[in-house]
Structure 1
Amino acid sequence: MIAHDLFVPSPLLVLSSGTMLMLVSIAWRRSITLSLSIGLLTLLLALAGTDHHLTTGQHGVATLFIQDRWADYTTALILLSSICILGLSWRNLLHDTAHPTDEYPLLLLLGTLGATSMVFSANYIPFFLGLEILGISLIGLVAARHHHLTASSEASMKYLILSGISSAILLFGIGLAYAATGSLYFSPPVATDGISHGIPIAAATMILVGIFFKLSAVPFHMWIPDVMEGASTPVAAFIAVVSKIAIFSSLVRYFSAGEMQPFLNDTMTAVIILTILGGNLLALRQTSLTRLMACSSIAHVGYLLMAFLSPGQLQSGAIVVYLAAYTASTLGVFSVISALAANGDTDGTSIADWKGLFFSHPFLAVIMSLMLLSLAGIPPGIGFFAKFEIAAASVERQRDLLLAALVIGSVIGLYYYLNVIRTMMTPDIVQIVTYNRKNYPELTGLALVLTIIVIVGGLFPARLIRPILPAPVTIIPRSANTIAPDIDTAMRYAIHDISP
């Protein structure tokens, strides 16, 4: 009989307390300044408590949550990203006097709570509750774009319907998994005596389909360009970064509890190839920078899944570095978009509006170019090192088809990223987005900080990554003859020869 111990990670307690405090403050007196301050303070306190365990689970004791270095690392990425996104939203919320906006930081905090709950989950119950808290918060956040109400309402409705369908599929799979294993704790279902072989296969397939929907992996990807385009720029960044980190972290956690069934290997290989090529090909057709970033995020999900399916000495380091590179580079792009957003009808997301940016605002144009090059995997950004790690992990496991998809996808991605840079270098023919640096010092500062992280991470990967490495943790999927080392060991393999 398994003993149970009450254990709740500190960040969850802080985020829950902050959310309740914000609810009380809104009920007492509506003040966007107070709500933003409570939200920022809560996120900072949760970040400070990430590496502190309120209680210590004993060996052999089953809990709803697990707090290890993998959970701490991904939680830190989520909290830092939420802080940046709150910073992107700060000024617009303070100056939008025509609409009450207290609910925005509340929904952002709730979404962060849901994402963090997923990261720490070792059980289907807190995982699904966290997923639904995140999803419901996103529905409200996407619809909260008051100046583009028709587009935001349509995007919110699309997300509501498709998210509900994917959650139903996922919940059905969880029910089948419980029928097969008799446990709600994470463990890929396998056939046992008295259980039909088809039930574990159906359970694993439906759970994976539900996760692929949330990750926007091909062929379950069509919702994300429309939803991100209808949302405001900070909310689009939240969808592209925070939700992806939480769901991918849960995928890793789920399969760390057991071996992946052989048929899922072939299925995931096909999904990864389609995701990399499909995301990059879709991005070629986009004229909106937000839609381009949405399609780009689909391709980056494929790269992450590629590392996930390549267990070995380099797998852990590849996943850790790629998550950091994708987070910093994507937030950097959205911070520049926010800094250049117009006060009029345009919001700065049309690529055509960026003509001549190198001539009118060279500082921000250089930052945008560095971020796009990092996403493309071009030096000196950290994205080059991250993509190199993905390729090295795949070479180690001889994933030839995945390597071919990575090379082809990277070439396609380089074209549309460079096309944006070419547009910024084209002499100004049409009026570009209005921008006043004195009005947006915090956005310019945030973009500069992210640029420094991206460049330092690309030039000195060991010095930036090693201090924040989560270790030890086993990244999977595992097989009978493959055991991944802890992340610190993996990173020594990864950076020993190429770090300056």
Structure 2
Amino acid sequence: MIAHDLFLPLPLPILSLGTMLLLGSIAWRRSLTRSLAIGFFTLVLALGSLNYHLGSPQVEGASLFVQDRWANYTALLILLSSLCILLMSWRDLHHDKTHPMDEYPLLLVLGTLGAITMVFSTNYLPFFLGVEIQALSLMGLVASRPYYFAQATEASMKYLILSGVSSAILLFGIGLAYATTGSLYFSPPPASPDNTIPAIATIMILVGVFFKLSAVPFHMWLPDVMEGSPPPVAAFMAVVSKIAIFSSLVRYFGTEETPVYLHGILFTVIILTILGGNILALRQTNLIRLLAYSSIAHVGYLLIAFFSPGQLRSEAITLYLAAYAASTLGIFAIICAFSWAENSNGSHIPEWKGLFYTRPFLATTLSLMLLSLAGIPPGIGFFAKFEVAATGVERQQTLLLATLVVGSIIGLYYYLYVIRTLMGAQNTPSLPAKEGHSPELTTLIVVLTLIVVVGGIFPARMIPQVLPSPTSPQNGLINDPVHEPENS
């Protein structure tokens, strides 16, 4: 019997039960095939339950969780991305008999649970638990295959230390916010010239979030950690974790203007993130490190839309998240189609030379994904970047728009550098493809390519109005009726 005041979006208990089932399965008898199957069906069931919940929200007061269109949309992106990442991992895990990794699906489902907890949260407590659940799972995933990746242990330690530092800053800010407002529900505490503690609390929470988003100058950990991780884990870090924390950032501030005392901070961070991510990507010869810096730059583009509330903001954010997720996952899926050399995850750009002659399908799809990230038609990324620019025009953010244009030009250079490498001399040996056939990976690449291309032709079908309603200053209750969730 469910208590009257309990409200729980159904994906949360499904992912929790799936995690416990995986634990019991591994403890009973190890079987990687069974663990992969349980993880896959857990994610599928969670995906099918997005519009359902247990219990009812309180009429007066606020629940710990919310289930409006924004939560459902970002949860949909996270669950689909996790399914894609599991399919990327399927072949290498299943055929690696010398180093079985039964815990991998468990850690992946656990990380997805943490991300989903964040997007459904409207309270600091479940939000922080989600942050830590995801961080703990990522530590294990990053270090899961040290026999293939010499930097795996080092990358895991870097993530452990810097994730702990950012969590401490975030928790300190949450403590100050609670001391000021007496409430744990999302709502920036109002600041005044006579009382600067609320402003300090909000700034510390924002710094903790920027660490998790790897915005400049809090970005130093991401390229090293992604380089030392298996490609599917790097994809999880670049897509799932960033969607989850950005969703919470939007939820925290709602659809209203950010406080005036944050404008200078946000303005500076956006410019540094766009220029820093793009300029540092120019020096990279490793595709995963290049994608890490590229993801930093894309966080800056997203922050422009976040910083520019208006009629176009919802369309810009929702389309950009979908475009970024599809394009980035597509590139990582193609990376997973190639063999991993010793102490390498198959991502050194010179090794891809001549791929258009040896593997034209993969070279063409990789080029489409890169052009989409660069904001070039026919990829969906063109319209996503256009929508972000439109939000800046609507709010007359001239300097931010100039930064977006400069950053996009720099980004186009290094994306085209990779494509030029793919078109290298035909007699140059390119990265060897994996032996055998991987139908799940081929299907995934085809589907993601169709999303990128079709989304670029019909972008209007992918921009629903799903941003959250503003939170009530009294108790943080979301005004959008949570018991009447709409389809994403």
> What band does the TM-score fall into relative to the shorter chain?
over 0.9
1:417 aligned partner: 415
Q: Deviations over 1:215-254 (max 9, x none)?
A: 0000000100000000000000000000000000000011
Q: More displaced, 249-258 or 71-80?
A: 249-258
Contact in 2 for aligned 1:382/1:459 (Cα 8 Å): yes
CA contact (8 A) 1:371 1:454 kept: yes
- Could you say which residue in structure 2 is the equivalent of 1:356? 354
Look up the equivalent residue of 2:277 and give its one-letter code: G
Deviation at 1:433, TM superposition (A): 1.2
In the alignment, which residue of structure 2 is the partner of 1:141?
A: 141
**Structure 1 residue 155: deviation in Å?**
0.3
Shift in CA distance, 258/358, structure 1 to aligned 2, threshold 3 Å:
closer
Q: Which runs of 5+ in 1 are unaligned?
A: 479-484, 486-500
Secondary structure of 1:114's counterpart equals helix
With normalisation by structure 1, the TM-score equals 0.91
Query: Are 2:168 and 1:168 aligned?
Result: yes
Distance change in 2, residues 1:248/1:46 (3 Å): same
1:337 aligns with 2:335: yes
Q: Which amino acid aligns with 2:174?
A: I
State the distance in 1 between where 2:331 and 2:438 align.
Answer: 15
Q: In structure 2, what is the equivalent of residue 122 of structure 1?
A: 122
Describe the shift of the 1:130–1:346 C-alpha distance in structure 2 as closer, same or farther (beyond 3 A). Answer: closer
Partner Cα separation in structure 1 for residue 67 and residue 100 of structure 2: 37
Residue 36 (structure 1) shift: 0.4
State the secondary structure of the residue aligned to 1:286. coil
Deviation at 1:59, TM superposition (A): 3.3
Alpha-carbon displacement from aligned partner over 1:20-41 (angstroms, at most 9, x marks no partner):
1111111111111010000000
SS in structure 2 opposite 1:147?
Answer: coil
Structure 2 counterpart of 1:98, which letter? T
2:100 corresponds to: 100
* Residue 387 of structure 1 pairs with residue 385 of structure 2: yes
Please say if 1:406 is aligned against 2:404.
yes
- After superposition, the Cα gap between the structure-2 partners of 1:437 and 1:377, relative to the gap in structure 1 and judged at 3 Å, is farther
Alignment partner, residue 224 of structure 2: 226
Aligned counterpart, 1:113: 113
For 1:332, give the aligned amino acid: G
Inter-CA distance 338–472: structure 2 relative to 1 (3 Å threshold): closer
Supply the AA of the counterpart residue of 1:404.
A
Q: Secondary structure at the match of 1:54?
A: strand
Rounded to whole Å, the distance in 1 between the matches of 2:372 and 2:290 is 15
- Is 1:177–1:203's contact at 8 Å kept on the other side of the alignment? yes
> Aligned in 2, Cα 1:257/1:387: closer, same or farther, shift over 3 Å?
closer
Instruction: Go from structure 1 to structure 2 and tell me whether the alpha carbon gap of 1:175 and 1:4 turns closer, same or farther (over 3 Å shift).
Output: farther
CA contact (8 A) 2:149 2:229 kept: no
Matches within 5 A, 1:237-276: 237-256=235-254, 260-276=258-274
Code of the residue aligned with 2:101 in structure 1: it is: T
Q: For 1:264-289, what per-residue CA distance to the aligned partner results, in whole angstroms no more than 9, with x for missing partners?
A: 01110110000000000010000000
Distance 2:300 2:326 in 1: 18
Q: Structure 2 counterpart of 1:418, which letter?
A: L
Partner secondary structure for residue 339 of structure 1: coil
What fraction of aligned residue pairs are identical, expressed as a percent? 65
Structure 2: how far apart are the matches of 1:425 and 1:417?
A: 13
Give 3-state SS (helix, strand or coil) of 2:309's partner. coil
Distance 1:188 1:257, change over 3 A: farther
Equivalent AA in structure 1 for residue 308 of structure 2: S
The higher-RCO structure (CA 8 Å, 6+ apart) is 2
Indicate how the Cα distance of structure 1 residues 309 and 4 shifts in structure 2: closer, same or farther if over 3 A, else same: farther
Matched with 1:473 is 468
Query: Which stretches of structure 1, 4 residues or more, deviate above 4 A after TM superposition?
Result: 343-346
CA distance in 2, matches of 1:134, 1:441: 29
RMSD: 2.1
Give, as a single letter, the amino acid of the residue that structure 2 aligns with 1:389.
E
Q: Distance in 2 between matches of 1:13 and 1:190?
A: 35
Higher helix proportion = 1
Amino acid at match of 2:32: I
Letter in 2 for 1:301: V
CA deviation after TM superposition for structure 1 residue 196, in Å: 5.5
Q: Distance in 2 between matches of 1:235 and 1:142?
A: 6
Counterparts of 2:245 and 2:345, CA distance in 1? 29
After superposition, residues 454-465 of structure 1 pair within 5 angstroms as 454-463=452-461, 465=462
* Contact in 2 for aligned 1:72/1:470 (Cα 8 Å): no
Matched residue pairs, number? 472
AA partner of residue 289 (structure 2): R
- Is the CA contact (8 Å cut-off) linking 1:73 and 1:470 kept in structure 2? no
Q: 1:408 to 1:472 in 2, by over 3 A?
A: closer
Any gaps of 5 or more consecutive residues in structure 2?
Answer: 474-479, 481-488
Length-normalised TM-score, structure 2: 0.93
Q: Secondary structure at the match of 2:62?
A: coil
